Amino acid sequence: MKLVIGLGNPGDRYMNNRRNIGFKIVDVIANNTSIQIKTKKKKSLLGQGDFEGHKIVLLKPQTFMNLSGEAVLYIASFLRVPVENIIVVYDDYKILYGEVQVGRGAVEINHEGILSIAKELKSDKFIRIRIGVGPLPEEDMPEAKIEKFVLSDFQPKENLKIINVINDAEAALRSILTQDIKDVLSRYELGSAIK
């Protein structure tokens, strides 16, 4: 069993934010696999089902981003999912919008959700699917301005491309589930966009 987590913030006001791309991708995967994400457990929404012959649990933490790890730890412990079977889908402002990258190991950006998960799991060995939402509008932006940027909605021209981004993220998940993870990481290591 694989635990696939989409990161975001709950509530309608955040629905189309850049920060909520993880939620959006998990929702589309759920729709494409007929998995219903409606079970409420420990500040989470989740659903179980099949993804091309692989049993998966789709999870959307409802704790807000900086406490995502609390929900992930509880569900992973409850379902007895080891860290290496956890896959997290999230936004990354350091890579260009539309790029999808896969990584595992040391956390490479100061992302509240990822840092919270690593802290609660006491491990950074979970798999990460990074979705580019950059570039930042200015270089050397202060933290407060970066936070405002990732909490802003996608622009209309970006929304035109969103289906391609989601398809690429789904392809990345398919590779992770159906291929040896070492092969996937070697082909799509951090710094190389999935094509």
CATH number at residue 119: 3.40.50.1470
Residue 6 lies in a domain: yes
Q: What pLDDT score does 86 carry? A: 98
Two tokens at 195?
A: 């094509």
Residue 101 lies in a domain: yes
Q: How many domains does the chain have?
A: 1
Q: In what order do the strands lie in the sheet with 100-104?
A: 39-40, 44-51, 54-61, 2-6, 86-96, 127-134, 100-104
Q: Name the residue range of residue 115's domain.
A: 2-187
Residue 194 lies in a domain: no
pLDDT in tens, 12-43: 999 999 999 999 999 999 999 999 999 999 89
Residue 192 lies in a domain: no
pLDDT in tens, 35-60: 999 999 989 999 999 998 999 999 99
Query: What burial class does residue 190 get, using C-beta atoms within 10 Å of its C-beta: 0-12 exposed, 13-18 middle, 19+ buried?
Result: middle
